[in-house]
Every structure is written in structure tokens, then in C-alpha cells.
Amino acid sequence: MNTATLGFRAPIRDSIEAIARAGFGAIAPWRRELAGEDVTAVARAIRDAGLGVSGYCRSTDIPAATPDAFRAGLDLNRWAIDEAATLGAACFVMVVGGMPEGSRDLPGAREQVREGIAVLAEHARGAGVRLALEPLHPMYAADRACLNTLEQALDLCTALEPAHDGAPTLGVAVDVYHVWWDPNLFRDIARAGADRRLLAFHVCDWRRETRDMLNDRGMMGDGVIDIPAIRAAVEGAGYDGAVEVEIFSAADWWLRPVEETLAVCAERFATVV
């Protein structure tokens, strides 16, 4: 269970308890929830609740308007990678950032991402943390992530880490919301699996009438995505990690009691995922 699904309304310890009580096996917390917390103590609380950590969300944007800002962003990411190690997270989720404010240089932003991830991969390897590059839906290319297809993410993985021992530091997070439309989706899931790059799998749904580009994701089953087909492809390609629910829903699920949202997620898992 990605804590974003709960709308960031409660302290992390409450979310840990609620998620464990609802019967889920793992949690994916956000950095904002750990600000001011003793990360080691949170890691212990998660373990004590019987939960794994399917991922740690998420990277600071890499592309920056100045070299100083670029370096500062990398420092924040190194810090977060160390926290991911403390948490024992299956991966650190890399939402790489879009173009710096005022820029029209998309290739330049992508080049900064390449440079930044090359640096961070070194650090992550030392920390024993795997980096899950998450291609975001193309509608976020300007302001959130200039990594927009699985193909692009995998090309980056193989360019920066061409050889590995079966457990590469660089891999991908497959979120059905971001990739469901991709004509090359099944080809690229297979490619990712063959190279052991499948590090995370996120589910939610795409509402046919999407009202907001950021916070109107649907509950599994309430949209148009053939989630079982994508899940079968991901698991058929060798992924055996958590199936993580991540639903940004300001107008619906975030307004409901946490227990209700968790119960509906569990029910949908049994029926439509």
C-alpha cells in the first residue's frame, strides 16, 4: 500500500497501523511523512507491524536551472537513498523531474537526468539500494518527469548499467496509470523482465472522464485499464514483488475514511487486479 492512497492525512505511524490492520503485506511511505522522524525507529515500527517496504517515494527532481541547483538536488537524493537503505525498501522510486521552470529544452532535461542518475547509481550501489526509474505519463513531461515511456527508461538503464550480476541497481517501476496506453507496453515489460529490471508494480485505474491531471486517479475497477492483463505480463516476466496501490484522488478516495479506502482496495484486489 502506497501511503499516497490515504491522502497524507495521518502521521506515518497511524498509516502503518491502519495498513497492517487491513491485511496488506507492505507499505511504500513518502519522504514528506518521514520529515522530522527518526527513520530507524520508523523502519522498526514497520517491521514490528509485520510489513515490508515495497518502495520509498520519491526522488527530488534532477533537472535544474543552474549547476548549483543540480548538485543540491543530487545531495537531497543521496540523503533519501540512505533513508531507503535504512528502511530496507525494495527500491527508491525515481520520479526524475521535468523541465526547469521557463525552459523549453526537453532534450537538455533528459540529458541532465542521464547525468544525475549516473551519479546516483554509484551512491545507490554503495548503499545497497535499487533505483526504480518510473516513466511518468507523457502529460507530466513538462513539470514532473521527462522520462515518459518504459522504452526510454530501459534504454537509460542499459546505457548506464550495461552489465550486472542479475540484481541491477537500475530498474523500472511500472505504474499502470502511466503506461497503460503504450503501444509497446507488453514488448517492453518483457524486455524489462528479461534484464531483471522490474523493481516495482503500481496499480490504480484511469477514469475515462478524468477531471484533473494529477489527483483524479481511479480505484482499480473503476476505469478503463485492463489491470489483470498488465499484471499477468509483469509477473510472467518474472516480477515477484509487491503489487502496490497508489491512488491520488483528491475529490474521492482522499475524502473517505482511511479504513474504507483500505477495505475497498482489498476487495478490488480480490476481484479486478
Applying CB under 8 A, the residues found at the interface with a copy of itself are 99, 101, 103-106, 110, 137-139, 141-143, 146, 148-149, 151-152, 180-184, 206, 208-210, 213, 223-226
What is d(CA 119, CA 129) in angstroms, rounded to the nearest whole number? 14
- Considering the complex, what minimum distance in angstroms separates the CB of residue 208 from a copy of itself? 5
Nearer to a copy of itself, 68 or 209 (CB): 209
What is d(CA 169, CA 96) in angstroms, rounded to the nearest whole number? 16
Nearer to a copy of itself, 77 or 148 (CB): 148
What is d(CA 55, CA 201) in angstroms, rounded to the nearest whole number? 10
- Considering the complex, what minimum distance in angstroms separates the CB of residue 43 from a copy of itself? 37
Nearer to a copy of itself, 53 or 146 (CB): 146
Nearer to a copy of itself, 82 or 155 (CB): 155
Max CA separation in the chain (angstroms): 50
Nearer to a copy of itself, 37 or 155 (CB): 155
Strand partners, 244: 202
Q: How many CB atoms lie within 10 A of CB 31?
A: 18
- Considering the complex, what minimum distance in angstroms separates the CB of residue 137 from a copy of itself? 6
- Considering the complex, what minimum distance in angstroms separates the CB of residue 227 from a copy of itself? 9
- Considering the complex, what minimum distance in angstroms separates the CB of residue 143 from a copy of itself? 6
